[in-house]
Amino acid sequence: MFDNINAEKVTVGRNVVIEDSAIIRGINGKSKSIFIGDNTYIGKNVQIICDDFSIGDYSKIHHNTNIHGYKPCHIGHNAWIGQYCIIDSIGGTTIGDNCGIGAHSQLWSHIKYGDTLEGSRFLSESPLVIGNDVWFVGHCIVSPVNVKDKALALVGSVITKDMDYNCIYAGSPAKDISSKTGFHFNERGLEEKFEMLKNHLNESKLDSGKIRIVKDTLKVCFEDDMTYFDVSSRKYTKKYNKTEIQFMKYLLPEKGKFTPF
């Protein structure tokens, strides 16, 4: 068990690295629940001060990032969180799978400070909900909004409104510029993705006898000791073997992202 985690319930996956200078606890002492997935890295001077926190497999939280709040903060698999980020969950924060949060970005779920006795009108807590495959490139400031899957905010964006599916945003306040730039993702056919992933496996020079790449979930076997990567569902069978872990790390962050069945 890691000495720098202070929680009533702690679940830490396999091959997790947490730097000694990181602090993981609740708002007032012990957190109620901390969950950290397999092969996740938490860097130097990271502070996770949250009563209910979870992060999935193969995620990275880089140094000097601060995550705080008394409502749940749940982050999915394959997260990449750059250095000096702030993620606030005072209003509650949910971040999906395969999300990137560039360095020095700030994600907020509340606004508090003005003297309400004196008449300040600004006091609110609202959930921040971020879908899958979302990318805040860096130095972004995000209000408590709803961000749909595959949305992208370019560097320095100030997000004050909901972000639509697969659209690209820029500016302060950020606006949808997809009509000028095109969309974040171009759709690939199943056969193309299948061939690309096979090429990645060949280029990795790993033991291909331990990995099988398929394009149909019906061809996935959960009983044998092979690790199956299904390009149709973007999922893999987690068998914890060395080759599987090496291949996942080879693919991340930009060659391909898979989550466990």
SS3 for the chain is CCCCECEEEEEECCCCEECCCCEEEECCECEEEEEECCCCEECCCCEEEECEEEECCCCEECCCCEEEECCCEEECCCCEECCCCEEECCCCEEECCCCEECCCCEECCEECCCCCCCCCCCCEECCEEECCCCEECCCCEECCCEECCCCEECCCCEECCCECCCCEEEECCEEECHHHHCCCCCCCCHHHHHHHHHHHHHHHCCCHHHEEEECCHHHCCCCCCCEEEECCCCEECCCCCHHHHHHHHHHCCCCCCCEEC
Structure tokens that stand for 229 in this block: 């990567």
User: Which of 124, 156, 181 is the C-terminal boundary of a domain?
Assistant: 181
Together in a domain, 42 and 65: yes
Instruction: Report yes or no on 14 lying in a domain.
Output: yes
pLDDT 10s digits, 24-34: 999 999 999 99
- Cβ atoms of 229 and 212 within 8 Å: the answer is yes
- Asked if 177 and 221 sit in the same domain, the reply is no
Question: What does the pLDDT average to over 36-63?
Answer: 98
Q: Are residues 81 and 139 in the same domain?
A: yes
Indicate the residue among 157, 181, 205 that finishes a domain. 181
Residues 6+ apart with CB under 8 A from 108: 86, 88, 128, 141, 142, 143, 144
Residue 62's domain is classified under what CATH number? 2.160.10.10
Q: In terms of domains, do 157 and 43 share one?
A: yes
Whether 132 and 41 map to the same domain: the answer is yes
Q: How far apart are CA 107 and CA 59, in angstroms?
A: 17
- pLDDT tens column, 121-158: 999 999 999 999 999 999 999 999 999 999 999 999 99
Asked if residue 259 lies in contact with residue 234, where contact means CB atoms within 8 angstroms, the answer is yes
Q: At residue 35, what are phi and psi to the nearest 5 degrees?
A: -125, 125
Task: Flag whether 244 is in a domain.
Answer: yes
Q: Tokens 């949060």 appear where?
A: 101
CA distance 92 to 81: 18
Strand-pair category, 80-81 with 47-50 = unpaired
Look at phi and psi of residue 245 and say left if phi exceeds 0, alpha if psi is from -120 to 50, else beta.
Answer: alpha
Boundary of a domain, candidates 181, 198, 217: 181
What average pLDDT does range 164-169 have in this prediction? 98
Residue 37, in any domain of the structure: yes
Q: How far apart are CA 131 and CA 97, in angstroms?
A: 7
In a shared domain, residues 167 and 197: no
- The verdict on 113 and 213 lying in the same domain is no
Residue 93's pLDDT is: 98
| Residue 55 lies in domain | 7-181
For residue 50, tell me if it sits in a domain: yes
Domain presence at residue 2: no
Report pLDDT for 191: 97
- Total domains in the fold of the chain: 2
Angle at 48 between CA 47 and CA 51, to 5 degrees: 145
Let me know whether 162 and 205 are in one domain: no
In-domain check, residue 1: no
Same domain, 140 and 223: no
pTM: predicted TM-score of the whole model, two decimal places: 0.96
Amino acid 42 reads: I
Domain match, 36 and 145 both: yes
> What pLDDT score was predicted for residue 208?
87
Confidence of residue 241 (pLDDT cuts 50, 70, 90): very high
User: Is residue 240's pLDDT more than 80?
Assistant: yes
Tokens 């969180």 belong to 81
% of the chain with per-residue pLDDT over 70: 100
Q: For position 168, what pLDDT does the model report?
A: 98
pLDDT at 98 over 90: yes
Q: What is the pLDDT of residue 18?
A: 98
User: Could you tell me if 13 and 103 lie in one domain?
Assistant: yes
Q: What is the mean pLDDT of residues 24-50?
A: 98
Q: How confident is the model at residue 63 (pLDDT cuts 50, 70, 90)?
A: very high
Mean pLDDT (whole number) for 29-48: 98
What is the arithmetic mean of pLDDT over 213-230?
95
State residue 118's pLDDT score.
Answer: 95
Using the predicted structure, report yes or no on whether residue 1 has a pLDDT greater than 80: no
